[in-house]
Amino acid sequence: MGANYCMSCGAPLAPRDVDGTMRHACTAEGCSFVHWGNYSIGVGALVLREGKVLLVRRAQEPGKGYWTNPGGYIEQLEMIHDTIVREVKEETGVEASVRGIVALRDLPRNIHNVYVAFAMDYIGGEPVPDGVEVDAAGFYSMEELETMNVAGFTRWLIDVALKSGGDGLIEDREPVVKLDGHGLFRL
């Protein structure tokens, strides 16, 4: 899972003690690159409409054939709350806005994954699958879910979203200090 070359300048990496932990760090003079590890960040949407939840059926591996909530992976230069709005629109055609963050999953493994689940407010549009990532989409009641092949993690998220009393972690749109490029959220 290591890296051999610097992602910043291309020079070879070599083991170096960084604050007591051996890391792969760049050997070029003046380059501060350290390979901290392999990480990915997923985002998911829980869009509720009249007691029904927006689900999609995965057309690709992993999880092909399973029903999940819409979602995806963050992009290098896109705010996560913009990513989740875009992913919902792309996968289902539904417009929704972020209300807050209701859950977080941590999954340390070869590529350490953190998954952020958003509660979202339905704005408009009828679900239509994109036909690529997902081959079915719709709003489903809790009764309907019982007979569907819903992924275990999605079941957990739906339970959290339904029982969430508050609005979770809210984006601070008017922070007391302006910080360019920061996505700021508060409890």
Which DSSP symbol is given to 11? P
Residue among 33 and 115 whose Cβ is closer to Zn ion: 33
Q: How far is the CB of 2 from Zn ion (least distance, A)?
A: 15
Q: How far is the CB of 17 from Zn ion (least distance, A)?
A: 17
Q: How far is the CB of 31 from Zn ion (least distance, A)?
A: 3
Residue among 5 and 122 whose Cβ is closer to Zn ion: 5
Residues 6+ apart with CB under 8 A from 101: 116, 117, 118, 119, 168, 169, 185
Query: What distance lies between CA 112 and its chain's CA centroid?
Result: 13
CA 104 – CA 130 distance, rounded (Å): 26
Task: Report the phi/psi class of residue 93: left, alpha or beta, with left for phi > 0 and alpha for psi in -120 to 50.
Answer: left
CA-nearest of 89, 174, 159, 81 to 123 is 89
Q: How far is the CB of 14 from Zn ion (least distance, A)?
A: 11
Q: How far is the CB of 41 from Zn ion (least distance, A)?
A: 24
Residue among 6 and 150 whose Cβ is closer to Zn ion: 6
Which DSSP symbol is given to 125? -
Residue among 34 and 151 whose Cβ is closer to Zn ion: 34
Residue among 30 and 62 whose Cβ is closer to Zn ion: 30
Count of C-beta atoms within a 10 Å radius of residue 55? 27
Q: 181 φ, ψ to 5°?
A: 80, 0
Q: Which residues bind Zn ion (CB under 5 A)?
A: 6, 8-9, 11, 26, 28, 31, 33
